Amino acid sequence: MVKRLLSLILCLTMFVLLIPAAAMAWDGVVAVLIEQGDTVYDICRSYGIDYYEARDVILALNGFDEEWQLGTLYPGNTILLPVQYGVTETYNAPAPEEDFPADSVLFYVVPYTIHNGDTIENVYMRWGMRYETYAGLIRSLNGVQDLDSLVVGTTYYLPTTLEHVEPGFAVAVVCHIMRYGENAADVFYDYGINYGRYSNILLAFNGWRDLTRLNVGDQLLIPVV
């Protein structure tokens, strides 16, 4: 995270030096995560930015030479836009970093082999837990809908708390709260996880929702071995 922040600061410094002095009537820069259906023009309108007035600055900030290159951005990318805090009424300055809780382990996932007479409900009862808390995740991780019909001898992956974790047999699931300018792929990368390679697993942990459309404050679950 620190490396990405330093890189962003260095890039912004270089781009600012390249922007003509006459165009520098801006107070700062905001990073906006592009969502499905967004256009740069529409994003500018939502931030109270005159696209045609800011076009050259937008190109410079994002390292582009030609306007058509803005059309190569896709959902999940971040675009940098110049803002005028005193003029842009729709702009909400990012909350301070300390407003976001640090990443922490939310629960663990352990392999459990089904025995005769087992149900998901009684397994969790023996653990002193309610399975309903994790029912959606259990279905998602194991690719099943009916939790009442279990196959004896089959291994299921079950969320649980620290008390039922055996060393070397558990995956810690970290909860990350999305911050301004972040996207899921970059957050996974910070944890050393290749999103493209493990996308199905990561989607399963996150309920198969569209991870390119996360908003600031949304939870992102990250499995960490």
For residue 36, give the CATH number of its domain.
3.10.350.10
99 and 79 together in one domain:
no
- Read off the pTM: 0.55
172 and 223 together in one domain:
yes
The stretches of the chain forming alpha helices (DSSP H) are 2-18, 40-46, 51-61, 120-126, 135-142, 184-190, 199-205
Which amino acid makes up residue 129?
M
109 occurs within a structural domain: yes
Determine the pLDDT at residue 175.
92
Determine the pLDDT at residue 84.
65
Paired tokens of 66: 């030609």
Domain that holds residue 32: 2-83
115 and 178 together in one domain:
yes
Structure confidence at residue 202 as a pLDDT band (50, 70, 90) = very high
* Residue 146: pLDDT over 60: yes
Structure confidence at residue 155 as a pLDDT band (50, 70, 90) = very high
Among the ranges given (86-90, 141-145, 158-162), the one the predictor scored with the smallest mean pLDDT: 86-90
125 and 218 together in one domain:
yes
Residue 189, Ramachandran bin (φ over 0: left; ψ between -120 and 50: alpha; else beta): alpha
* Residue 153: pLDDT over 90: yes
* Residue 179: pLDDT over 60: yes
194 and 213 together in one domain:
yes
Percent of the chain with pLDDT over 70: 77
49 and 120 together in one domain:
no
109 and 67 together in one domain:
no
Among the ranges given (69-83, 86-100, 139-153), the one the predictor scored with the smallest mean pLDDT: 86-100
SS3 169: coil
Domain count, the chain: 2
Determine the pLDDT at residue 159.
92
Count of CB atoms situated within 10 Å of the CB of 22: 7
Q: Indicate if the alpha-carbon torsion angle 13, 29, 194, 163 is positive or negative.
A: positive
Mean pLDDT of 166-182: 84
Among the ranges given (88-102, 132-146, 169-183, 192-206), the one the predictor scored with the smallest mean pLDDT: 88-102
34 and 124 together in one domain:
no
